[in-house]
Amino acid sequence: MINEPFAAGNSLIHNLDPRIRVGLASVYCFVIALAKHTPVLLAAIVISLSLIFITRVNPREIARRLVIVNVLIFLLWAVLPLTYGDPALFRAGPFSISGPGTKLAAQITLKCNAILLAFIALIATMPLVTLGHALNRLRVPAKIVLLLLMTYRYVFVIEQEYHRLLRAARIRGFRPGTNLHTYKTYAYVVGMLFVRAAARAERVNQAMRCRGFNGKFYTLQQFETVRHDWILATIITAMIICLLFLEWSHRA
């Protein structure tokens, strides 16, 4: 269900302190998301691609993820240029391709891909468990971290339960089709899944209380920042500052 194809690796970025990676990725994303000028976004794409290049992760796996996001973006390309209004880039009969609409669609495409690539390079290259611990160290509220880690832990159990229910239906001759019986069966499966998840949550809570849980969450993982962490962090920070500078110079 959840694979972590990028988490294993031994590149400069894989070895970078997870706390620094989370911090840099957050700042970087904000800068890209708020940038308004195309040259800045083009530069961001280059930076993101070079980060990906450093991680040396499987390009095919990355392409697969990019395709998913860009299918959604394609819908924007189908709508925005036709509906955004004047001034038109060119007209063909009753249709007109809007200039600002096209620019907006292009910017959104660049932003999404730059952010996604940066996240794959910086965040997806650590196991989710490590991410949880890094967030904990960065003083993200314990409840959110706990929610993340528990979701990760039990999503597999719930998936198993889902398959168990579906198997139970199938061995009694259930074949999905386009009819009310199918919809009803799926509704039962989903309903049952919620009931079981709630019951499971109750039992997990009981088990935690039995072991003295009182809302406080401890992690054992220690993070260490070594010198090469700081060097890499400084380089990435410098790039972010360059992006900001570029953005301001275009604005002036």
Partner 1 sequence: MNANQPLICLKQISFSYPEAPPVINQLDLDFYRGDRIGLMAPNGSGKTTLFHLIMGLLKPISGQMEIFGKPVKEEKDFFEVRRRIGLLFQDADDQLFSPTVLEDVAFGPLNLGKSKTEAIEISRKTLEFLGLAGFENRITFKLSGGEKKLVSLATVLAMEPEILLLDEPINGLDRKTSGKLIDVLKNLDLSYMIISHDIDFLDATTHAIYTMANGKILVDQQMQVHQHVHAHPHGTYPHAHET
**What mask of x and - would describe binding to partner 1 in positions 79 to 98, judged by CB under 8 A?**
--------------------
Please report whether residue 152 would count as binding partner 1 according to CB under 8 A.
yes
Measured at the CA of 52, the angle between CA 49 and CA 56, to 5 degrees, comes to 135
**Tokens describing residue 146:** 């706990």
**99-122 and 59-83 are packed helices; what angle lies between their axes, rounded to 10 degrees?**
160
For partner 1, give the closer residue by CB, 102 or 219. Answer: 219
Residue appearing with tokens 């301001």: 248
For partner 1, give the closer residue by CB, 1 or 72. Answer: 1
161 to 220, contacts with partner 1 by CB under 8 A? 200, 203-204, 206-214, 216, 218-220
Provide the strand spans (E) within the chain: 88-92, 95-98
Number of residues that bind partner 1 (CB under 8 A): 25
Instruction: State the minimum distance, in angstroms, from the CB of residue 204 to partner 1.
Output: 5
Please report whether residue 60 would count as binding partner 1 according to CB under 8 A.
no
Contacts of 166 (CB under 8 A, 6+ apart): 189
Q: Hey, which residues does 95 pair with through a beta bridge? A: 92
For partner 1, give the closer residue by CB, 140 or 150. Answer: 150
Instruction: State the minimum distance, in angstroms, from the CB of residue 207 to partner 1.
Output: 5
Please report whether residue 223 would count as binding partner 1 according to CB under 8 A.
no
Q: Is the dihedral of CA 23, 29, 34, 39 positive or negative?
A: positive
Assess whether the previous peptide bond of 39 is cis (omega < 30° from 0): no
Site residues for partner 1 per CB under 8 A: 129, 132, 149-150, 152-154, 156-157, 200, 203-204, 206-214, 216, 218-220
